Structure 1
């Protein structure tokens, strides 16, 4: 039997902003995500964990529109987004940071952020003219780059950045879009130990605002323990556990079969 939490998470005091209902995808005879139903609330950071191949990133891809659902629905504030492409879901308020960076490689760091801001604000079509005449875009771009410790590399081409800096730039682009729902897929993957705190501090700051819904796929359990208000566990595409971190992590079934940890009573 899956470990389930019957009551809403402690921070879920408002209506769900994002909901999946019986979300399913099949690849031939293989069911990669199997009827996953979850509601996600503003002010709550939900960590999605499970072993490799559990369906975590596939679940993210179904929510953000990179994959087409076989069955089920994705709803944002009650609006069914299931038939919309990824771009339309972004404009609706879903923001996704990928495991692999998704940047404009031939543009500079500053140009990447300006383009994201312009997309959010829907300012004109001639980006080059808009950028040169809108001080607010430039000032906000500088603020975002400072927040991810990239202000000193604003004129560097994105393709020339090391991997860790590309991940930081991707987070800056996501923040520029200011979505209602933030979806982070292993945001610290490939970063050095010194670079990780910058991203974690940004996620903490978003969480403290209490007006954003945050989903986090993460393998590092120390990060999950620190940041998560709620944990859901996927295994073979099926929702196996959903609840407060202490309850989920303490479950022997989750520790042994899904998180690969020794049971707490065996730890010394």
Structure 2
């Protein structure tokens, strides 16, 4: 029996900036239908590791595989087309367009329509319906006509989730999705991620500092420290490790809750 490829895998993935090794030979497999939290202290290499997977940074060494295919040399658009979707720590939207237009443009790109006027005219209604369905899913339908730059920060983060949904990726990558949010805004985004997690065809990677968020969402935690993978396992097991308590939580193991 042939073993199924993991949906995503990194093998000895490495990047150096001068003499500094920011990600150090990280090998990790991510299976379909799981949510993995990536944790570690500031400067541990978490976002850099994300950038290597999504293609924002070229690797110095090692490889990235998606469904068994080596995508290490591929551009960001090619990786997106193959099924990797990325939400950034800072919002990455079209600020002068409406909420609806942000999602419609993504749906249009996903449908490979380009900007042919006849294609757009023929499918305009379908694209708008798709956009509105996604906006309803993330509770932004009432803000559909609002210009994005005027949205509160929490609604901009929800719009990023909507754009990821419209892309329909196999792998969804969230880099601190609750960063800068008020206490009232956080539960809505967590509920959206939980809903995405319920689709077992999707795989989610999450960089997050809030341990309560990690506990509520993660099936698995991996820990990066000084660019190296130092722990990998179930949340309760990993959180209890001395390397996590000391390096990530900043307290001795006996003081942990």
Scaled to the shorter chain, the TM-score interval is over 0.9
- In the alignment of these two chains, the number of paired residues is 255
Instruction: Name the residue aligned to 2:53.
Output: 63
Instruction: Name the residue aligned to 1:7.
Output: none
Q: How does 1:17-56 map to 2 (within 5 A)?
A: 17-56=7-46
1:97 aligns with 2:87: yes
CA contact (8 A) 1:115 1:127 kept: no
Instruction: Name the residue aligned to 1:6.
Output: none
Q: How does 1:1-268 map to 2 (within 5 A)?
A: 15-126=5-116, 130=120, 133-263=123-253, 265-267=254-256
What do you get for the CA RMSD once the two structures are aligned?
Answer: 1.8
- For 1:137 and 1:231, the matched residues in 2 are separated by 37
Aligned with 1:205: secondary structure?
Answer: helix
Aligned with 2:136: secondary structure?
Answer: helix
CA shift at 1:79, angstroms?
A: 0.9
CA shift at 1:199, angstroms?
A: 1.1
- How does the TM-score come out when normalised to structure 2? 0.94
CA contact (8 A) 2:51 2:57 kept: yes
1:82-124 CA distance string (max 9 Å, x none): 1111111100100000001111112111000000111111124
1:111-168 CA distance string (max 9 Å, x none): 0000011111112423696167432221121121122221111111112222221111
Task: Flag structure 2 segments of 5+ consecutive residues without an equivalent.
Answer: none
- For 1:215 and 1:64, the matched residues in 2 are separated by 11
- For 1:100 and 1:129, the matched residues in 2 are separated by 33
- For 1:233 and 1:133, the matched residues in 2 are separated by 45
CA shift at 1:267, angstroms?
A: 4.5
CA contact (8 A) 2:5 2:68 kept: no
Q: Which runs of 4+ in 1 moved over 6 A?
A: none
Cα pair distance change 1:38/1:45, threshold 3 Å:
same
- For 1:58 and 1:182, the matched residues in 2 are separated by 16
- How does the TM-score come out when normalised to structure 1? 0.90
- For 2:249 and 2:24, the matched residues in 1 are separated by 19
